């Protein structure tokens, strides 16, 4: 472990199930704050554990965050035969229609079970919960990933899921702050523009994020809100980050961009990284493992320092030294019975 290396304000992906020699050399030199895994990186539990260990070895930090998008439903990077299939967020909101306590219990249990799976692999952050509140007529990119169709349901079940993750030794990442639920385009493919007035956004879209503003990490929305900034999506908008996310919503955790390779963003990868960090993101995320793109991201990156470094340390400080006691077999039986 080299104490001399400066950590870069980025989270990066890798190309396959084992690191190439080029990737090892690049990650050693780049020293990203963390990494993210996708389906292309996953075969078996033993292989994932080895890959996670290899990634951390590159940066010489045993607690370096390794993230994954393991929501359940259509966004689940780990699946059968080695890992269980989990329901989408909406399934929790549809449980036991007149019993909110049961919905909350099962949402927390779902988070705890996800954490059990991830902790066994060394993965210590999950990009869950989705706190977006879908609106009628919006693009289905959120859809059933949302816990409900109103801010109160989303906030209550989102917190329950986050608490389950934290209890199991995994950091939750709330997304997509300050809210993707009104977007009429998929930001993977195009830049969504939301024209709703600020008061409507504040009362509806922003409400779950305000309610979970104590969470350790959040991921931005690549969405233009014309009531905030007519030019730039939240990820690269100083007004959106400083006035809304840090100000009105009171979020002081680690703020990461959504994936810089999504088509909602324009400009070179260096420019995207530069603009996101200049707006007030603490770290930038690049997911696809493309070496040329990662090198360009690094050009626009900067060292993790100042408030960003403080927030990064505070986020990792929320990791329990060991998960709370949990009877996984009984928990899984209760979970499956709830959805039977």
What CATH number does the domain containing 240 carry? 3.20.20.300
Q: Is the pLDDT of residue 126 over 70?
A: yes
The verdict on residue 214 lying in a domain is yes
Question: In the structure, what pLDDT confidence band is assigned to residue 2 with cuts at 50, 70 and 90?
Answer: very low
User: pLDDT of 78-110, one tens digit each?
Assistant: 999 999 999 999 999 999 766 789 999 999 999
Q: Over the range 302-339, which residues count as b (16 or more CB within 10 Å of their CB) and which as e? A: bebeeebbebbeebbeebeeebeebeeeebeeebeebe
- Peptide bond preceding 178 in cis form (omega within 30 of 0): yes
Provide the Cα torsion 144, 150, 154, 155; round to 10°.
Answer: 170
- The sign of the torsion formed by the CA atoms of 126, 129, 130, 131 equals negative
Contacts of 46 (CB under 8 A, 6+ apart): none
The verdict on residue 324 lying in a domain is yes
Q: What is the predicted pLDDT for the residue at 1? A: 38
The verdict on residue 277 lying in a domain is no
Other Cβ atoms less than 10 A from the Cβ of 188: the count is 13
The verdict on residue 241 lying in a domain is yes
Rounded CA separation 210/178 (Å): 9
Q: What is the predicted pLDDT for the residue at 98? A: 65
The verdict on residue 279 lying in a domain is no
Question: pLDDT over 90 for what percent of the chain?
Answer: 91
Query: In the chain, how many domains are there?
Result: 1
The verdict on residue 66 lying in a domain is yes
User: pLDDT of 201-223, one tens digit each?
Assistant: 999 999 999 999 999 999 999 99
User: pLDDT of 59-83, one tens digit each?
Assistant: 999 999 999 999 999 999 999 999 9
Active-site positions read: 188, 258
**Parallel/antiparallel/unpaired status of strands 125-126 and 283-286:** unpaired
Rounded CA separation 306/61 (Å): 19
Q: Say which DSSP state 189 is in.
A: T
Contacts of 40 (CB under 8 A, 6+ apart): 15, 16, 17, 289
Per-residue pLDDT averaged across 114-120, rounded? 98
The verdict on residue 184 lying in a domain is yes
Question: pLDDT over 70 for what percent of the chain?
Answer: 98
Q: Do 8 and 303 form a contact (C-beta atoms < 8 A)?
A: yes
Rounded CA separation 124/171 (Å): 6
**Domain of 195?**
8-270+287-339
Rounded CA separation 250/170 (Å): 23
The verdict on residue 236 lying in a domain is yes
Evaluate if pTM is beyond 0.75: yes
């Amino acid at each position: 472990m080299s104490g001399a290396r400066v950590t870069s304000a980025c989270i990066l992906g890798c190309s396959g199930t084992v690191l190439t020699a080029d990737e090892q050399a690049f990650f050693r030199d780049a020293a990203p704050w963390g990494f993210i895994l996708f389906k292309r990186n996953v075969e078996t539990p033993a292989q994932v554990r080895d890959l996670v260990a290899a990634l951390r070895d590159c940066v010489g930090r045993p607690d370096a965050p390794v993230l994954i998008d393991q929501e359940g439903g259509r966004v689940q990077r780990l699946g059968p035969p080695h890992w269980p299939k989990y329901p989408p967020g909406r399934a929790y909101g549809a449980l036991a229609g007149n019993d909110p306590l049961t919905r909350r219990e099962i949402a927390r249990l779902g988070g705890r079970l996800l954490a059990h799976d991830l902790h066994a692999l060394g993965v210590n952050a999950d990009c869950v919960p989705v706190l977006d509140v879908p609106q009628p007529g919006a693009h289905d990119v959120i859809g059933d990933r949302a816990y409900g169709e109103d801010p109160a349901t989303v906030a209550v079940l989102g917190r329950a899921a986050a608490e389950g993750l934290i209890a199991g030794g995994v950091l939750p990442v709330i997304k997509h702050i300050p809210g993707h639920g009104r977007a009429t385009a998929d930001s993977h493919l195009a830049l969504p523009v939301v024209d709703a007035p600020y008061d409507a956004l504040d009362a509806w879209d922003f409400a779950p994020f305000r309610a979970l503003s104590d969470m350790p990490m959040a991921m931005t929305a690549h969405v233009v809100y014309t009531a905030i900034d007519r030019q730039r999506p939240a990820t690269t908008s100083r007004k959106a980050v400083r006035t809304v996310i840090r100000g009105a919503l009171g979020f002081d955790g680690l703020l990461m961009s959504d994936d810089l390779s999504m088509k909602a963003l324009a400009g070179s990868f260096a420019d995207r990284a530069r603009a996101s960090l200049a707006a007030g993101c603490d770290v930038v995320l690049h997911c696809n493992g493309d070496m040329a793109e990662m090198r360009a991201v690094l050009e626009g990156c900067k060292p993790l320092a100042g408030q960003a470094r403080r927030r990064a340390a505070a986020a990792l400080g929320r990791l329990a030294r060991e998960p709370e006691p949990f009877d996984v077999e009984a928990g899984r039986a209760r979970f499956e019975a709830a959805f039977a």
